[in-house]
Structure 1
Amino acid sequence: MPAADQPRPLDAHRAALQDPPIEYRPELRWWLAEGLHTDRTLRFEIDAAHRLGFGGIEFLAMDEQAIDHSRYGWGSEEWVHDSQLVVEETTAREMSVSFTSGTNWSNANLPTIDPDHPAAARELNVVVEEVRAGAGRSGALRRIDLDAQREESLLPGHRVAPKTQEFFAVVAAPLVADGVLDADGVLDLTPLVADGALDWEPADDREWRLFTFWSHGTGQTASPSASVNYTVNYLDRAGVDAVIDYWGSTVLTPELRELIARNPRAQMYMDSLELNTWGEGGLFWGASVAREFRERRGYDITPWLPFLTRSVLLMASATTYRYQPTGAQRAAVEKVRHDYVETLTDLYIENMLRPFAAFLHENGILLRSEISYGLPFELTRPGPEVDGIETESLEFGSQIDAYRLLAGPAHLFGKQYSSETGATTRNHMLDHRFYDQIIATQLAAGITKTVLHGWASTAGAEGATEWPGHEGMWPGFSERFDLRQPASEFYPQWNRAVGRYQYLLRQGRPRIDVGILRTDHFVDNMSGMSFLDEAGKRIPDEVAYGRHWMRNRENHWWQDLGMQDAGWSYEFLDGSLLLRDDIVLREGLVQPDGPGYQALIVYQEALSADVAQHLLDWARQGLRVLIVNGARELRLLLRGEHVVNERAASRTPGLDHRDDELAATMAELRGLPTVAEVDDPAQTVAALRRLGVVGRAEFVAENRNVLGYLREDGELLHVYLYHFLYETGEDTVVEVALPGVGTPYRVDPWSGDLAEHRGVRADGDRTVLTVALAPGETALLTVDRSQAPVASAVAAREVVREVGGWSIAVESWDAGENELIVEDRGLGYETREVRPATAVTTLPVTGSDLLPWSDLPGVGPEVSGVAEYRASFALDAAAAPGERLLLDLGSTAGGLGSVVLNGGEAVGFDTSRPVVDITAAARAGVNTVVVRVASSLNNRLIARGYYDDIPDMGLFLLGRQEAHVTVVRPHGLLGPVSVVREG
């Protein structure tokens, strides 16, 4: 341990906790109005984002009404100019900057190709004929009607029909029943085709189906752009080569390259993979797919194609296969389906991610990506190929189990794990606490980079922009974290607070107790948008997030909550990742310099024979393995579909004919002393304990309210705790046992101050912390194991003063006059945009009772904005040594705000437990306090009729056209407010 006069390990973090460096602050997704914004607006917005404390900007072009897309769309001179300016202004402020890629954003697609180009996205389509003996069929093969009208995809963009189609194969299969084919009777008739014609008659009297497969471009486009931009192929190398050529020759100008070279955090962000197909086949395809399938899987895909044709509702997770085999053939067909999507994953990695990342790195750009989900690609295998792995709160409903899905590859390979945060279907409706709870959930899974979804300039196209401003991401979708929000006044304090969490929880290495082997090519990334009850009635987002799913003890993928209740951490990964040379086992730990899994769980029925052999080799070296039978997991929440894995590792996933080899390997594995097997997931914790697993931040007693995350940073342990039952829970006390003995400190995220934590004891070679948490509250602590611990009891709290006699004034926000902004860059035209102003009217309140604004005299249910509360209170004495004085605000109805005591600095507070440390500012005698609290815009927008014609996006995605429904919400300081002495 260091001598008393020597620096201690925690000293290295004090400065960053006081003022978190910009790279740890939350970042923004910025929806630009194509290239319409004037230079003045762009500079104003970037300066505002920087001033409010945001750490970076990810920008993209969103469709703006009433403008000339050929002039302002992606690829135009205006867009290139604006992009350059955004990079220049962010770089000058040391902010990160991210270009945005993804199939719905124009810059992921190309104007240099068309649907028939080799680089364009392709699909395998099918024409189906009925054929019987005695009739047969002859003549030209039936072709795809490429111009046929089909139901439009719910995804943005439109289709441009390709002009050509290429014959691939023709297959015949006997029909057993409606939608059921005899897999053993399938005939590949492709060799019989001559000059595009086939003469064939079945040899028996069964009813047959003839499948003629054609390959053609999907015709998917993205907009807005100066010209039509077509989606590239993610499976053939030609796709990424075309992207690289276009960016290298056209987008990355010398000026832009020079700017990027000055920004160490320049990134390309690949958004969710919202590729779609148009035809009846539903198969993603490319020139190399069939050949690569044969070479990698060892057999021909052609005879199996009828069983791969599918329909899809929005995302790959909602795949429905058009044909099924008979019962006896289902196992083989399931293996083929696995082999197909495994091949697609291989090609996505090798022909898109890997070369794209290499090109970006050559140009000083990092690749951050929402890997795989949305398409039939394995979820975690692409993790090593990118610099940062991103998830999102929208598609996964901010569920801890969903965040664990991608935490495995992020932690195994030391990738920055980030999340888009704040996209819901409740634009402007919800209080700030709702979003704080999303971030709190993410931190519990090791997500330490928040990218807020999102930011939009209030300025937009003349004639199409009304108060509260240009929407960017459509009026019924997502949230805005920009200047239109009354809460923006308090964003500087909030960004510093989130930055402190993100700073400390990036230090050292993650400590994750258990890795769960899990392969998923069709992850349900629509689980977070399943907002219908059994009667088909809409469940509001805030109700689902706050009361359903994980907050109703319903985790989706690992459904037994024993490990979670014990405080153990766990996450998921595809077993094939363990086969990589950069993943090691040492002293019984998987990747000890990363997550350091103490044990691995095998539970799915399918397991690769190679992975099983690897587990056997490692188990002989001391790896602990638990085999769990009977585990149930989510398949598709929208349809209530789950799957039960009756017997773990009972077959290989693909048609590799290695089931017997797997069985023999598993038999050897089961016989080792480091391996256990249970037939009920509820026995998981007990079985792992018998194998010697001890949670590194485990709870002394079961706790069903708290989630935790742990980082080991040399002698320091950084511990994050979160009471996740923010709507339904009660106050809880949790005891957390940590390895080693040391002195704990608690970080105040709103000031960066560190104070010794009261409530600590040694238990052998462990330190036990006692932490009290209110519903929704978080705690951030650091245990310094270089310091000998001093046992202490939990601090006693005493209310010494109730604060009343409030003077209240509400600043009511409403529409003001529009400001016209005109720009003439000498190009022969003017650019015109308007910025709606906000008119603020101060409403003094008669009386001093702390009530919702809707109930305050002279305010009422139509008001949104910021309220100021002034009061004074007397103290007999200031805080004594070892004591703290706290101002407990009771409730702010979830509103963000600040406290100023005796004219000092404004201090923010937790929206779930709004308590401010006033020890340094409080004095004996009279103290004056000013509390400011913001609302959402919900109540004012209801009064203005804003929501009347806006469709409910949660229902729209399900094909239902219904208006948004919201209600007047309580806002303001609700109290009771008290001064608390803690010591």
Structure 2
Amino acid sequence: MPGLDDHRSALRNPPIEYRPELRWWLAEGLHTDATLRAEIAAAHRLGFGGMEFLAMDEGHLDHRRYGWGSEEWVHDSGIVVEETTARGMSFSFTSGTNWSNANLPTIDPDHPAAAKELNFVSFDVPGLQHASRVLPRIDLQAEHAPSLLPGERIAPTKQELVAVVAAPVLGEGVLDPEGVVDLTASVSEGELSWTAPDARLWRVFVFWSHGTGQTASPSASVNYTINYLDRDGVDALTHYWRTVVLTPELKADIARNPRAQMYMDSLELTTWGEGGMFWGRSVAEEFRRRRGYDIVPWLPFLVRSAPMMAASTAYHYEPEAAHSVTVGKVRFDYVRTLTDLYIENMLRPFASFLHENGILLRSEISYGLPFELTRPGPEVDGIETESLEFGSQIDGYRLLAGPAHLFGKQYSSETGATTRNHMLDHRFYDQIIATQLAAGVTKTVLHGWASTAGAEGATEWPGHEGMWSMFSERFDLRQPGSEFYPLWNDAIGRYQYLLRQGRPRIDVGILRTDHFVDNTSGMHFGTADGGRIPDEEAYGRLWMRDRQNHWWQDLGMQDAGWTYEFFDGTLLTRPEVIFQDGVVQPDGPGYQALIVFQEALDVEVAELLREWATQGLPILIVNGARELKWLFAGAYTTHQRAASQTPGLDGRDAELRAVMDELRALPSVAEIADPAETVTALRRLGVRGRAEFDAANASVLTHLREDGELLHLYVYNFLYETGGETRLDISVLGEGEVYRVDAWSGSVRPHSGTGLRDGRTRISVALGAGEMALFTIDRTQRAETRDLAERAVVAELRSWDITVESWDAGEPAIITEDRGLGYVTREVQPTTEITPLHVSGLSELRPWTELAGVGAEVSGVGEYVAEFHLPGEVDPDSRYLLELGSTNGGLGSVALNGAPPRGFDTSVPIVDVTDDLVPGANRVVVRVSSSLNNRLIARGYYDELPDIGALFLGRQATHTVRVREYGLVGPVRLVRERRSSSGRRLLR
């Protein structure tokens, strides 16, 4: 059983597998070997743990020579695998070119392995009239709006008849489902002969299946998106990788890397036609086998459009209100079937193939498409989310935390993609990571990294963009803050190390099924009057930071310090999920209670809940809960009565009601009519948070891990823009000695402000706005009651010598490579010229914009030098903290008396300098970085740059960019903390 001493070495120097990783946008296969090796060496030197690499379109390059699948791309991929493996770093392939889907050069849109859709043409037949006509076909060459994804549509040449269906028209967009007639058998040699049976207007739908024609670029040839529903797709994919990609040399390198991965991003598949339905040759048959009825008569009610992923789904036809529930069930069954096929015909066989070749599968399962979000979780090795599409919202991360924790999967997140580039301070990204940690994300994959070198004619300072200049952030050598990345990666690595130990302890599981999850909230920055909300404003002040969580909107559990997460109820029926020792999945999240709030619930799930409730599991049935449907449209769903029907058309509603009646009668079950009563109702059922607050707190999130007799508790004040210091007492289950881990140094020290009550350990803590804290409670040690440390200001640093290292474009370099293949590869590498700007004798710290000789055009790194006097000796019973006040969100370091630099939290920049302090004169050097925003404004970088956030809102606009304040602004003070006997609790 691990003890605290077992973790001290890893906390001092976090192993590489716990450090943040990178998404690396390669300029196709253009990069020279020298560039590739230098980039990987730099990423390793800066403390990153791995690189996920993918090809991005460089426009005017010869794609046949440099695109995905070319000899150059294969060669470069081998270099990346070789170099990362040699350094102990992970690497991740993608399942095709760019990031958006699995795609292949060996198929065409008519191939069975290519993605398919169901499309339709319709015509009207007046009542009682006879129709005899050749079936109209899809115009496969018709133009449609282009996609934002890399690639284009190449029209298929074949279409296959699936069905012909007639439906009575009751009004504009309204059909009668009871009158639908399947006319497929009436078609002979491509002609329909049929008479409308009554006087109503009838609409005849002719359904054709054809390839979507979706391609992905850049590629040496044309890459087509594969079929995710029929087995043909994955079979073609694995055949290509087995016979073309996985050469003996590459397989040997993979075998040497225990963290070789395949990464599958959000499922960005598109349909082209009016039907808007994903399809495959097996869909209709599998639907009938799994759901017990024929899908064909219902097809008119399934055709749709989805302009912005599945959340935007709009059906073309609706039934009368009397049939809306029935049609809703059919729609559920269709998407449940798609989810089944995605799991069984794509993820499961693909993971098996990868495992045979020593590769793990990490995936952003489901979201983006009409698939259930959480059910695919058990099929992959790592479940990934992202900060972009969920807008760094805690509820968004809770959506995938459920399956990750239930099945012991590594939970990771792509982090840093926004509609901004080079604009925001480093604190903005620290706050995204802090939010993710609170949901149990313990692997950060930064979005992203690019070499500064790129194609001639397309690369300008500050460097090759990779993921387009209008999108995402770069965490690479072009950043002034890269000097401090080793310190930063150490700190994040310590959080991720400790929060991966043992097992998560989540208080409450919430059953939630969603086939159309809104994963576009991170792209919604529009006001009612058409204005543009900056990303940093939305992230820092709106949504969760304006007390508006998206999916579980009552904040009572969160304010009480309770943790909770979501998952589809059918996951509970898997054999590896158990109820034991009073909790669900004791070796996983250990839910102490479950909540049912949606109107639909499967009978099998209700029966399992009844069984577990009989054994004592608290279950809360919540009526009247509202959740987000689609933020763009301001659409929400209110569930009037929980578990009032089955989700599909299985005819078991009465059976469900009977089971639920039995469930409600059990003493461990409660039902409420208002979600605001949740905490009170659960407390009455005997539930108490494992690390709950003594008093409600609206500013703090926590995450708890149980590691044998150790408890690791993460605490975060998430109101980084709108809040201030918050003080709270946290009551943790069990008695033990409390230690606080300094993530910036790895030191572990007893925490003051602790006590015992009712068999629980109380931790008193104060957190500044945006501050994170990490505690370990050792239950093998006797708990100590500790008093408040007396705090005294020892010195205030007022006189500063300042040098701002101003970054701007230098002369570009040309890199050439001749590999003896009959051509020479050329890269241009922009360089950075650094000009020191000196400011001396400053008695009051001010932003660079207000410093004479610096001003509003400068970006770079500021060095601040000052001296202070420590009277007397260094008190061995005290800690000495250098409080920097504010660095305007800039990453940086502090070095005292020539000691190695120490990093700091960008929200609450405080450095423990106890070990470096000497009596008398002390010299401190503070270095603080900026973004490149101000320099790029001055260079006109943003003048014509499209605002992708505006594009998401359907309008054309360029970025509106403002000059930012940079630098150390203080106040800077040396503070001494000394143990007191006053009996007060520690507040910091």
TM interval, shorter chain, is over 0.9
Q: Is residue 627–residue 638 contact of structure 2 (8 Å, CA) maintained in 1?
A: yes
- Separation (CA, whole Å) in 1 of partners of 2:761 and 2:577: 30
- After superposition, give the CA deviation of every residue in 1:797-837 in whole Å (9 maximum; x if it has no partner): 22121111100010000000000000000000000001100
**How far 1:102 moved relative to its partner?**
6.4
Secondary structure of the corresponding residue to residue 727 of structure 1: coil
Aligned to 1:4: none
- Which runs of 5 or more residues in structure 2 are unaligned? 979-988
Q: Is residue 885–residue 979 contact of structure 1 (8 Å, CA) maintained in 2?
A: yes
**How far 1:859 moved relative to its partner?**
0.4
Work out whether 1:94 is the aligned partner of 2:88.
yes
188-197 or 654-663, which deviates more:
188-197
Q: How many residues align?
A: 977
Q: Percent identity?
A: 71
**How far 1:107 moved relative to its partner?**
8.1
- Separation (CA, whole Å) in 2 of partners of 1:947 and 1:36: 26
Aligned to 2:576: 582
Q: Is residue 139–residue 199 contact of structure 1 (8 Å, CA) maintained in 2?
A: yes
Work out whether 1:930 is the aligned partner of 2:925.
yes
- Separation (CA, whole Å) in 1 of partners of 2:170 and 2:2: 75
98-107 or 179-188, which deviates more:
98-107
Aligned to 1:869: 864
Q: Is residue 746–residue 754 contact of structure 1 (8 Å, CA) maintained in 2?
A: yes
**How far 1:959 moved relative to its partner?**
2.6
Secondary structure of the corresponding residue to residue 817 of structure 1: coil
Secondary structure of the corresponding residue to residue 188 of structure 2: coil
Work out whether 1:205 is the aligned partner of 2:210.
no
Q: Is residue 854–residue 861 contact of structure 1 (8 Å, CA) maintained in 2?
A: yes
Aligned to 1:953: 948
Aligned to 2:976: 981
Aligned to 1:972: 967
The partner residue of 1:882 within 863, 877, 880 is 877
Aligned to 1:856: 851
Aligned to 1:185: 179
The partner residue of 1:655 within 645, 649, 656 is 649
- After superposition, give the CA deviation of every residue in 1:489-508 in whole Å (9 maximum; x if it has no partner): 00000000000000000001
Q: Is residue 114–residue 233 contact of structure 2 (8 Å, CA) maintained in 1?
A: yes
- Separation (CA, whole Å) in 1 of partners of 2:192 and 2:654: 41
**How far 1:372 moved relative to its partner?**
0.3
Work out whether 1:750 is the aligned partner of 2:744.
yes
The partner residue of 2:306 within 292, 309, 312 is 312
The partner residue of 1:921 within 907, 916, 919 is 916
- Separation (CA, whole Å) in 1 of partners of 2:750 and 2:93: 43
**How far 1:431 moved relative to its partner?**
0.3
- Separation (CA, whole Å) in 2 of partners of 1:16 and 1:487: 25
Aligned to 2:165: 171
Q: Is residue 74–residue 107 contact of structure 1 (8 Å, CA) maintained in 2?
A: no
Aligned to 2:506: 512
Q: Is residue 102–residue 272 contact of structure 1 (8 Å, CA) maintained in 2?
A: no
The partner residue of 2:886 within 872, 891, 895 is 891
Aligned to 2:895: 900
Work out whether 1:486 is the aligned partner of 2:480.
yes
Secondary structure of the corresponding residue to residue 200 of structure 1: strand
Aligned to 2:241: 247
Aligned to 1:632: 626
Aligned to 1:124: 118
Counterpart residue identity of residue 173, structure 2: G
What pairs up with 1:735-884 in 2 under 5 angstroms? Answer: 735-848=729-842, 849-884=844-879
Q: Is residue 455–residue 481 contact of structure 1 (8 Å, CA) maintained in 2?
A: yes
Work out whether 1:600 is the aligned partner of 2:594.
yes
The partner residue of 2:228 within 226, 231, 234 is 234
Q: Closer, same or farther in 2 for the Cα pair 1:879/1:662, shift >3 Å?
A: farther
Aligned to 1:54: 48
Q: Is residue 427–residue 476 contact of structure 1 (8 Å, CA) maintained in 2?
A: yes
Work out whether 1:687 is the aligned partner of 2:697.
no
- Separation (CA, whole Å) in 2 of partners of 1:103 and 1:231: 10
- Separation (CA, whole Å) in 1 of partners of 2:872 and 2:425: 37
Q: Closer, same or farther in 2 for the Cα pair 1:107/1:172, shift >3 Å?
A: closer
**How far 1:794 moved relative to its partner?**
2.8
**How far 1:203 moved relative to its partner?**
2.0
- Separation (CA, whole Å) in 1 of partners of 2:335 and 2:787: 56
**How far 1:609 moved relative to its partner?**
0.6
- Could you list the structure 1 runs, at least 4 aligned residues long, displaced by more than 4 angstroms after superposition: none
Q: Closer, same or farther in 2 for the Cα pair 1:373/1:257, shift >3 Å?
A: same
**How far 1:878 moved relative to its partner?**
4.2
Aligned to 1:476: 470
348-357 or 145-154, which deviates more:
145-154
Counterpart residue identity of residue 919, structure 2: A
Q: Closer, same or farther in 2 for the Cα pair 1:635/1:346, shift >3 Å?
A: same
- Separation (CA, whole Å) in 2 of partners of 1:376 and 1:926: 66
Work out whether 1:393 is the aligned partner of 2:397.
no
What pairs up with 1:447-466 in 2 under 5 angstroms? Answer: 447-466=441-460
Counterpart residue identity of residue 312, structure 1: A
Q: Closer, same or farther in 2 for the Cα pair 1:287/1:161, shift >3 Å?
A: same
- Separation (CA, whole Å) in 2 of partners of 1:99 and 1:913: 37
**How far 1:881 moved relative to its partner?**
3.0
- Separation (CA, whole Å) in 1 of partners of 2:412 and 2:2: 30
**How far 1:958 moved relative to its partner?**
2.9
**How far 1:624 moved relative to its partner?**
1.0
Aligned to 1:25: 19
Counterpart residue identity of residue 497, structure 2: Y
**How far 1:135 moved relative to its partner?**
4.4
659-668 or 839-848, which deviates more:
839-848
**How far 1:607 moved relative to its partner?**
0.2
Q: Is residue 547–residue 727 contact of structure 1 (8 Å, CA) maintained in 2?
A: yes
18-27 or 954-963, which deviates more:
954-963
**How far 1:789 moved relative to its partner?**
1.1
397-406 or 957-966, which deviates more:
957-966
What pairs up with 1:59-74 in 2 under 5 angstroms? Answer: 59-74=53-68
Q: Is residue 105–residue 223 contact of structure 1 (8 Å, CA) maintained in 2?
A: no
Q: Is residue 593–residue 619 contact of structure 2 (8 Å, CA) maintained in 1?
A: yes
612-621 or 89-98, which deviates more:
612-621
- Separation (CA, whole Å) in 2 of partners of 1:64 and 1:790: 61
**Could you tell me the TM-score, scaled by structure 2's length?**
0.98
- Separation (CA, whole Å) in 1 of partners of 2:681 and 2:72: 63
Secondary structure of the corresponding residue to residue 771 of structure 1: strand
- Separation (CA, whole Å) in 2 of partners of 1:224 and 1:562: 49
298-307 or 105-114, which deviates more:
105-114
- Separation (CA, whole Å) in 2 of partners of 1:255 and 1:214: 45
Aligned to 1:3: none
Aligned to 2:986: none
- After superposition, give the CA deviation of every residue in 1:302-326 in whole Å (9 maximum; x if it has no partner): 0000000000112111100010100
- After superposition, give the CA deviation of every residue in 1:715-755 in whole Å (9 maximum; x if it has no partner): 11000000000000011111111111111111111110011
Q: Is residue 102–residue 270 contact of structure 1 (8 Å, CA) maintained in 2?
A: no
Secondary structure of the corresponding residue to residue 90 of structure 1: helix
What pairs up with 1:526-565 in 2 under 5 angstroms? Answer: 526-565=520-559
Aligned to 2:984: none
**Could you tell me the TM-score, scaled by structure 1's length?**
0.99
**How far 1:764 moved relative to its partner?**
2.0
Work out whether 1:909 is the aligned partner of 2:904.
yes
Give RMSD over aligned pairs. Answer: 1.0
